[in-house]
Structure 1
Amino acid sequence: MALQQVVEQTVAGLGYDLIEIERSAGGLLRVTIDLPWKGPSSEAAVAGVPEPYLTVEDCEKVTRQLQFTLEVDGAEYKRLEVSSPGIDRPLRGEQDFERFVGEVIDVTLKAPMGAAAGGQVSASRKKFRGTLERADGGGWQIVWSDAPETKPGHKVSKKRAPAPLHALGFTLDELREARLAPLVDFKGRRPRTQEGSLDKAPEGLTDIGGTEVSD
Structure 2
Amino acid sequence: MDNVVDIVSTLAQPIVDAHHFELVDVEFVREGKSWYLRLFIDKPGGITIDECALVSDELSEKLDNIDPDPIPQAYFLEVSSPGAERPLKKEADYERAVGHYVHLSFYQKVNGEKAFEGTLLSVTEDELVLKINLKGRMKDLTIPRKNVAKARLAIKF
TM range (shorter): 0.7 to 0.9
* Structure 2: distance between partners of 1:80 and 1:2: 16
Kindly state the Cα deviation for residue 27 of structure 1 after the two structures are TM-superposed: 2.7
Kindly state the Cα deviation for residue 103 of structure 1 after the two structures are TM-superposed: 1.1
Q: CA RMSD in A?
A: 2.6
* Structure 2: distance between partners of 1:100 and 1:135: 9
* Structure 2: distance between partners of 1:20 and 1:104: 24
Kindly state the Cα deviation for residue 86 of structure 1 after the two structures are TM-superposed: 1.6
The reply to whether residue 146 of structure 1 matches residue 134 of structure 2 is yes
* Structure 2: distance between partners of 1:182 and 1:10: 32
- 1:133 aligned partner: 121
* Structure 1: distance between partners of 2:100 and 2:5: 28
- 1:78 aligned partner: 75
Kept in 2, the 8 Å contact 1:19–1:34? The answer is: no
Kindly state the Cα deviation for residue 113 of structure 1 after the two structures are TM-superposed: 2.5
How many pairs are equivalent? Answer: 145
* Structure 2: distance between partners of 1:95 and 1:164: 30
Kept in 1, the 8 Å contact 2:108–2:147? The answer is: yes
Greater per-residue strand proportion: 2
**Sequence identity (%):** 25
Q: Which runs of 5+ in 2 are unaligned?
A: none
Q: In structure 2, what residue type is equivalent to 1:10?
A: L
* Structure 2: distance between partners of 1:173 and 1:12: 27
Kept in 1, the 8 Å contact 2:26–2:37? The answer is: no
Q: Which runs of 5+ in 1 are unaligned?
A: 36-50, 115-121, 148-162, 185-215
The reply to whether residue 172 of structure 1 matches residue 148 of structure 2 is no
Q: Quick one: higher RCO (CA 8 Å, sep 6+), 1 or 2?
A: 1
> Cα–Cα, structure 1 residues 135 and 53, in superposed 2: closer, same or farther, change >3 Å?
closer
- 1:7 aligned partner: 8
Relative to the length of structure 1, the TM-score reads: 0.59
Q: In structure 2, what residue type is equivalent to 1:33?
A: I
* Structure 1: distance between partners of 2:28 and 2:4: 11
Greater per-residue helix proportion: 2
